[in-house]
Amino acid sequence: MDKIRINGGRLLQGSIKVSGAKNAALPLLAATLLTPGTHTLHNVPDLRDTRTMLMLLQTLGATWERSGGSVQINTTDLTGAEAPYDLVKTMRASVLVLGPLLTRTGRARVSLPGGCAIGARPINFHLRGFEQLGAVTHLESGYVEARVEGMLTGNTIYFDIPSVTGTENVLMASVKASGTTLIRNAAKEPEVGNLIDMLTAMGARIEGRDTDCLTVTGVTSLQATEATIIPDRIEAGTYAIAVGATGGELEITDCDPSHLPVLMEKLRVIGMTIEAKKNSIIASCPLNNQGHSCPLQAVDITTMPYPGFPTDLQAQFMALMIQCNGTSIIHETIFENRFMHVAELQRLGAKINIDGATAVVSGIARNKLIGAPMMATDLRASASLVIAGLSASGITEISRIYHLERGYENMVEKLRHVGAEIEQITD
Ligand code: EPZ
């Protein structure tokens, strides 16, 4: 089992290039199932999760080839419509093949993803949406099966919660449905917009991009296409938070600052200097006249659907708040169990109290955080532990870093390149 070993307490200085967004790459890879032909996706990050999705497409009969950041996927000869448990259990986003397979073949059988560390993660909104489009769904022996005789039929679909993959799955099931589909209370995340752009390039007719009401007019044919994955806003935000925790200055390049409006505002409020350029963010901490970074001020956050504060940055932001002056109230409204990083951060000396979906963080001086062994529990929690280890003094070792490899491309190399004393070791 690999670990990450950090000798903390060093400033970060330099430039970090952001990779393509995991949460855009996964739906866009699934969308290649919608129509036969060779699709080309650019800026596809090479992650554990994108490799799993490519393996899943291959299981369904597709062939693919990666050349640098571009991947060509040929989905002409699908041989199956079943996503097996051994793949789905490692990546819940495998459910994203349900919508395109329903559209392409009229049937899909996907292992129920089961819960994960951060919550139960049901898919009832996805299944209800398929049923409203005329499909029949049923669960048997841990698999969900969806079938439709003939065409799917357009309908008005309301989401109780603006589910990101729920919106993406129903979009992919509605693009060739007869008539018009309205998706109300749809998710507005940039990754949904990236999928809409790809579907439109394939010939789909979708109005309402970036709003909570999407109108899909069914078409009779779609063509294979070429699309580019948007930059990973969560990766960009992770590094902007990291330099707040360590002190220093980072130029975070190949990102889209407009995708992080609330985070940038929060980092300014705590006392960082955040400069947003067209495709990059310069994040820095003020230094006092002894050349040490000034202490930052604690601030409250509440996670919300886009464009609110992203739940995927909550754990990382907490790793910053533990060393700011004052108290920060962190309210997690999206997932029911997304404080797994708290117990680990407390091992470094952090003062955090949890009350249901709220964490109260009492900041302590950065030099009071002492490195210690920690264990990663989920993807974003592991990024939080890295940030805390970078700013704590002494040695931190983080185990179970396969969680981190699911969503961050070359994080160790990228951080070492800007001055972190960090390495991956085999335990
Ligand atoms: C997507 O997950 C992201 N994953 C998550 O990123 C992200 O945290 C989440 O959206 C919220 O922004 C991908 O895009 C692959 P939801 P998703 O459906 O779509 C409830 C990461 O770290 N819900 O928007 O699964 C659900 O339990 C990952 O990169 C239902 O009740 O999230 C949650 O409370 C973690 N029934 C809320 O809605 C459903 O059918 C929002 O979930 C679907 C969701």
Per residue in 231-274, pLDDT tens? 999 999 999 999 999 999 999 999 999 999 999 999 999 999 99
3-class SS of residue 405: helix
Give residue 334 CA to ligand 1 midpoint distance, Å: 8
What mean pLDDT comes out for the span 17-34? 98
Q: Is 197 annotated as a binding residue?
A: no
Give residue 374 CA to ligand 1 midpoint distance, Å: 26
pLDDT at residue 104 is higher than 70: yes
Q: In the 8-state DSSP scheme, what is residue 229?
A: P
3-class SS of residue 118: coil
Q: What is the pLDDT of residue 115?
A: 63
Residue 406 CA: nearest ligand 1 atom is 29
Higher pLDDT, 177 or 366: 177
Ligand 1-lining residues (CB < 6 angstroms): 22-23, 26, 93, 119, 121-126, 161, 163-166, 311-312, 334-335, 379-380, 407
Q: Is 74 annotated as a binding residue?
A: no
Q: In the 8-state DSSP scheme, what is residue 150?
A: S
pLDDT at residue 287 is higher than 90: no
Burial class from Cβ neighbours inside 10 Å (0-12, 13-18, 19+) for residue 278 reads exposed
What mean pLDDT comes out for the span 179-183? 98
Determine the Cα–Cα distance for residues 45 and 70; give it in Å rounded to an integer. 9
Task: Quick: pLDDT tens for 132-174.
Answer: 999 999 988 889 899 999 999 999 999 999 999 999 999 999 9
pLDDT at residue 114 is higher than 70: no
With tokens 């080309």, the residue in question is: 40
User: Which domains are assigned to the chain?
Assistant: 2-19+231-426 (3.65.10.10), 22-228 (3.65.10.10)
What mean pLDDT comes out for the span 57-82? 95
With tokens 């975070």, the residue in question is: 252
Q: Where are the alpha helices (DSSP H) in 163-249?
A: 164-174, 190-201, 233-246
Q: Does the annotation count 294 as an active-site position? A: no
Residue 311 CA: nearest ligand 1 atom is 8
Task: Quick: pLDDT tens for 397-427.
Answer: 999 999 999 999 999 999 999 999 999 998 7
Taking all residues of the chain, what is their mean pLDDT, rounded to a whole number? 95
Q: What is the pLDDT of residue 412?
A: 98
The sign of the CA dihedral 102, 108, 112, 118 is negative
Longest dimension (CA), the chain: 73
Q: What percent of the chain has pLDDT over 70?
A: 100
Determine the Cα–Cα distance for residues 276 and 281; give it in Å rounded to an integer. 5
- Across the beta sheet with 2-8, the strand order is 373-375, 394-399, 2-8, 421-426
pLDDT at residue 108 is higher than 70: yes
Question: Residue 95: what are its φ and ψ, rounded to 5°?
Answer: -60, -15
Q: Is 2 annotated as a binding residue?
A: no
pLDDT at residue 84 is higher than 90: no
What count of Cα atoms within 13 Å lies in the side-chain half-sphere of residue 110?
A: 28
pLDDT band at 80 (very low <50, low <70, confident <90, very high): confident
Give residue 6 CA to ligand 1 midpoint distance, Å: 31
Task: Quick: pLDDT tens for 120-143.
Answer: 888 999 999 999 999 999 988 889
Fill in the amino acid letter for 290. Answer: Q
pLDDT at residue 293 is higher than 90: no
Burial class from Cβ neighbours inside 10 Å (0-12, 13-18, 19+) for residue 142 reads exposed
pLDDT at residue 180 is higher than 80: yes
Residues written for the chain: 427
pLDDT at residue 289 is higher than 80: no
